[in-house]
Every structure is written in structure tokens, then in C-alpha cells.
Copies of this chain bind each other. A is one copy, B any other.
């Protein structure tokens, strides 16, 4: 349990602050002030070498002078004093240490060493460390705020790899009056990292929604988050703002947090598979979290759009379409009810255009809303335009009517149990009707495009496409497969030669075309006799990694020629001084298409599987799809469908379709192999020849993990799942 000890940090009974002062110009001073102001109910111990009291609390010259147990200690002292202060934390039995001070791994190697020393020291007496170089923590249930800036309380759990992005969210939270259960910045994350906090939040009863800003994951951290979100017994929305889509951004992340942004397409698929909402900008991240915090999940995906004007409706629908959010037609019953209510000039499709009616008669909005929300294909409503400011155009008499309309809108949403979002040109204002909606927890949007993307995020989270979020899969390694790997390990092999790779695939139940390995001319005679039709012959040797580099592959050899070719290959092997050369003989395979199937172990995300379509599509267009391994059949179908060239399989220009089932089966098995076998670093099956009935393996390569590396990364488990 990596989140061990976080409970004590978020719910301490006592807090000490080393570096507390009265000066808000200092990091320690302004944080001490917000700690005191937030109304923490436990004991507070400001530590200040010279003052006798700080901001109304008796001060102590050092931690050692406190003389009682302290659960949580904040350190805001010069870098050179941090190590001693951590030592002192042992004397008060601290469970958590939050190092605000900077000057560690973000600066140089000496700082990195010091950082490591601090964490080891803390861990020696059982304390967890936040930071160093972090901005602080806020915990709403415990009523403490060690940030130095205001953070409103609420139900969103935040973890941020950047203090300034956290500050940005706090400003948005204040404006929208939706707040945080816990609010953390992890600084250099020398001990406690993003995964630990997400794990804690997932089981934290104070937290309803999880929001994270992540520049990069540590070793296996992406995998850990993927697994915990996928397998969480209580499902909570997890929204992650994750840059790293461009090289410029990846470089900036490296210079900021030293993080490897990672392969962005892996981030994308891992999040999608686990049901993590990926946000693409700060506003979308916040607005999505805020909407999750106050609204119920929609029961069906369709959204109805109620608009003051067609321009906003067009922009909303355009974004909805790009985001995959359906704006379905309304039922006949709904349309009839609407036409009894609205004049002929109003468009009654979806979007519904009020065409000026609402602007003069705001009470029409909740009435129309009520009718629409009982339509069976509608799960969410979006009211868009300039509600709240109608009176700015139509005169002050409208203001109280807008307030009533806002109250009714909230009531209709409440009664129907269906979420209603309001976009308004005035959404950022304090106009009275806007304030009503805000206080009723109706999500308010200033940007029409963000409103559509937020609703799309929520709908997709509540109702993912079938192949997006399949059930978790568990697998274990068959005994004979494990034996093949063990033999290679014992023989100090770095990779499996093709015959062993073929045997390994067979052990996993993957059908491999018939083949023979021959080591003598006599064996070659009997193999050649066994096969009819043209053959492929390949030279095999431990000292030969790339067979084709030395012309070690011969295709379309007739059975009659096989033995002569064998002699020639063995001569060649002798000339190259190859170790224990053998020749693999297998019939040539014909098919309709070639695919490439691969798997590898990613530093951040662990076992990953890949598929691509051979030829120009993979060579020129890098048309490949990835998924976290192991795969369910739905995952496998989904990743094949995601290929740009997948139309090839459904039949192009009148050609017969090619069934994808055999490819999907192969992907599933390969994904299980990599997931269940930490010894495997990489599997490369290229090409796979696909016919109407089968996906036939024509070549395979398995690279073994460096022994030390795989133990560090995966332990010795032979059972992995997702």
C-alpha cells in the first residue's frame, strides 16, 4: 500500500511548522498564516528560533523543544537546515514531513543526493515525505491550509506536479465556488508521488472527484495509476491534465520537473482504457472536475441544446460532434409538447432555438427544459446563450424573472435527476440569476466550446463505448512457457532464437505454422520430404541476431532444392564462424494482408501491446495502435479498428473482407505473454500473414529483460493482470 501514512498527513491531530514567522513576505510566514486562519482544531506548534509567539501561537525554538508527539511537520527553512530538521522530526514521532524548502534534485546532483538522504532518514523512523520543493497541502476535513493562498473547501481531491497550476485551479474554484477535499502539490516527489495520492483519494470518503496535473510518471507509476483506477471498488471520476503532446512541451516538462513526459499515445490509450478523463487544457480540466462534483451521472448519452441563438448552437454542436457527444433528434411526443408551448419561429429540432422568446420571457426556459428532460434519448441538457443578462437588453423588469427562471432550472434538474449545464456570455459575472445557478450547483460555462467538451467528457466517462473500458483481465504464465524462459535464462541468453520463440508462442496456445529445425543433412532430407510446396529456410544461431543481414533467409525454395540449400547455408555459417548453426524449415505462407504484432515493457506504463498493418501503412505512415496488456477481446478489436488502414479488413473497392478475429486472438495471447512474464522485454512478430481463416506467424523474436532491470521493475511475480 503505497499510500501508507497519508491518512496521518491529511488528518493529523497536531502540526508543527519549522520556519513559521509573522512575515507574509516569507514562504513560511504566509503559510503559517493560512494554517492558523483555516481553523485547524488540533495542536499547532510554530517553530521559530527567535520569536516567543507567532501569529497568536506560542513558538518553540526547535522541534526538539516541543516535548510532545507531533503528527505532521512542515519545513520551510533554508536548504542546508533541512536534513537536521528531518532528524529532529524523529524526536516528535512525526508521521509526515512536508518539505516546502527547495534546492534539491531540481538544482543539481548534490541536491539529489541530499533529497535521497532525507527520504531515507524519514523512512527510518516511519515518516512519509511530501516534496521537497512543494507548495504545501490543504485538507478540508482537517481544516488546515499550508499553502499560503486561499483554497475553498469541497469534494475535489487535487494532486499537482506544479504549484502554479494548483494556484490556477484555486482561482477557478473561488470563482465557481466549488472546492477541494484535499489539495496537494508534490514538488520533487522524492517519496510521495501522484500514484500514492490518487490511491489515497480513491478510498477517501471526503473526496468525490480526483483532479491531477501530471507532467510525467516515474518508473511504473503510470501503470500503477492505470491499475488502481481500473480496479477501484468505488468508481470516482479521475481527471488528469497531462501535457507532453509536442516535443516543445516535452522538453519544458523535462526542464521543469525532470519528468519524462512519456510516449503520448500510451498516455492516451492507458487513460482511455482505465476510464481516466484526459483534459487538454486547464479550463477544461477544472470545468470537468467541477461538473463531476455537483452533478449526477447522465443515464443516456444524448444532450439537448436550448439556445438563444443559432451561432452558439452551431459552435456547440460542432465541438460536440468532434468530441463524439450525440445531439439526437427529439421524440415526436417531445416535439409536440414543445410546439404547443413555443411560437412557430422557434426551431424545435435539437438544438431548440428560442429565437428571442426566452429573452423576453425567461420562464419559458425551465418549461422547455422540463419537457426535454423527459425525452428518453436525452440524458443531459445544455442551456446556451446569455441567460442571466436578458435584462441587460430587455430592461430591468426582466431581472427578477430571470432569477425565478434560474431557480426553476435548478429545480427541474434536481427533480429529473438529469444534469443541466448552462453556458452564458455572463457566466463569469455576479449577475443575480448567475449567482442562483452557481449556488445551486448548476455547472456554468463562459466558453461554448469548453461546455461541449466537458459534457462530452462526463458522458463518455458514464457511458464509454464498449471497447473503451472493458473488464479487467487476469492471466498467469503456463508452466511449459515458463520452462522455455527459464532454460534461456539459465543459458544466459539475451533473446530467444526463432525456434525457441516459436515454441514459446505454442506454449501460450498460439498456433504456429508447421516447422522443423535441422542440424544435419539427414534431418534436412526428412524435413524436406515432409513438406510439399515451396519452403522458407532460415539460418539460426545465437550469434546471428538479424538473419537477413547476412542473407540467412531463403524464400520459395522448392523441396527438391532444400538439401543443397542447407549445405550452402551451413558453409556460410562456418565462414561467418557462427555458434552452433541450425536451419529452420517452414512452408511458405500466402495470405491477403500482412500485419505486425508486438509487445514491450514501457518504463512508465509496463506491459504494452502493439499492432500495425504491414507494407506502406506501417513503413510510411507508422499506422500502429497500442493498448495496455493484457487485452480483453474488446480491447483487441478496438485497437484493430483504431488503425487508419482498418478499412482494408472490411473490404475495399469490392474486395472480400478479411476477418479480424484471428488477429484479435493473437493480440490477446501476446498481450498475456508480456503481462505475465516479467522476463520478457519485447516480442516482435513480423510479419503475420493474414488469410480468410487465420493469422499465420512467419517470423518471431523475443527479447529477454536484463535480469536486474526486470526484478526492479516487476518483482518476481508471474501473475499480472489488469
Contact = CB atoms under 8 A, between A and B. Distances in A.
Nearest to A429: B171
A164 B252 contact: no
A163 B244 CA distance: 38
Interface string A271-300: 000000000111100000000000000000
Interface stretch (A308-316, A481-489, A628-636, A693-701): A308-316
Contact of A322 (B164, B245, B317, B392): B245
B161 A318 contact: no
Interface string A151-186: 000000000111111111001000000000000000
Given A25-B360, A148-B393, A449-B281, A162 B213 contact: no
A310 B162 contact: yes
Contacts of A250: 318, 321
A320 interface: yes
A255 B620 CA distance: 41
A617 interface: yes
24 contacts: A25-B360, A30-B395, A103-B345, A162-B309, A164-B307, A165-B309, A168-B311, A243-B317, A245-B321, A246-B319, A246-B320, A248-B327, A249-B317, A250-B318, A250-B321, A252-B327, A252-B351, A256-B353, A257-B310, A280-B449, A281-B447, A282-B315, A428-B428, A615-B616
A25 B281 CA distance: 40
A279 to B, nearest CB: 11
A311 B619 contact: no
Q: How many copies does the complex hold?
A: 2
Given A102-B355, A645-B621, A321 B394 contact: no
A70 B652 CA distance: 65
A653 interface: yes
B163 A282 contact: no
A249 B347 contact: no
A246 B317 contact: yes
Nearest to A108: B344
Q: Which of A30, A161, A162 has the most CB of B within 10 A?
A: A162
The 9 A-B residue pairs whose C-beta atoms are closest, nearest first, are A162-B311, A246-B321, A249-B318, A256-B310, A164-B309, A248-B321, A252-B317, A165-B311, A243-B318
A552 to B, nearest CB: 18
Given A245-B318, A246-B322, A282-B448, 20 more contacts: A25-B397, A27-B356, A30-B394, A148-B393, A163-B311, A164-B385, A165-B312, A241-B315, A243-B317, A246-B318, A248-B317, A249-B314, A249-B318, A249-B319, A249-B321, A250-B321, A256-B310, A256-B347, A616-B652, A620-B648
Contacts of A148: 393
A185 to B, nearest CB: 9
A392 B24 CA distance: 10
A594 B245 CA distance: 34
A542 interface: no
Contact of A163 (B309, B319, B644): B309
B386 A167 contact: yes
A349 interface: yes
A312 B248 contact: no
A1 interface: no
A107 interface: yes
Interface residues of A, number: 94
Interface string A18-39: 0000011101001000000000
Best-surrounded residue of A23, A30, A344, A393 (most CB of chain B within 10 A) = A393
Interface string A229-256: 0000000000001011111111111011
A215 interface: yes
A148 B171 CA distance: 33
A83 interface: no
Residue of A165, A244, A326 contacting most chain B CB atoms (<10 Å): A165
Interface in A371-403: 385-386, 392-395, 397-398
A647 interface: yes
A697 to B, nearest CB: 22
Contacts of A308: 164
Contact of A248 (B247, B280, B318): B318
B320 A248 contact: yes
Contacts of A248: 317-318, 320-321, 326-327
A256 B311 contact: yes
Contacts of A347: 255-256
B321 A162 contact: no
B395 A25 contact: yes
A710 interface: no
B251 A317 contact: yes
A255 to B, nearest CB: 6
A507 interface: no
Interface in A398-451: 398, 425-426, 428, 447-449
A525 interface: no
A149 interface: yes
Nearest to A395: B24
Nearest to A616: B616
A253 B645 contact: no
Given A311-B162, A315-B281, A349 B447 contact: no
Given A245-B322, A321-B246, A425-B167, A107 B345 contact: yes
B168 A312 contact: yes
A386 B167 CA distance: 9
Nearest to A251: B317
Contacts of A249: 314-315, 317-322
A153 B244 CA distance: 41
A256 B314 contact: yes
Contact of A313 (B252, B345, B644): B252
A311 B449 contact: no
Nearest to A450: B281
A111 to B, nearest CB: 10
Contacts of A351: 252, 255
Interface string A607-618: 000000001110
Nearest to A102: B345
Interface string A92-110: 0000000000110001000
Contacts of A164: 307-312, 385-386, 425
A505 to B, nearest CB: 26
Contacts of A345: 102-103, 107
A309, A316, A620, A653 — most chain B CB neighbours (10 Å): A620
Interface string A650-670: 001100000000000000000
A311 B652 contact: no
Contacts of A309: 162-165, 167
B449 A282 contact: yes
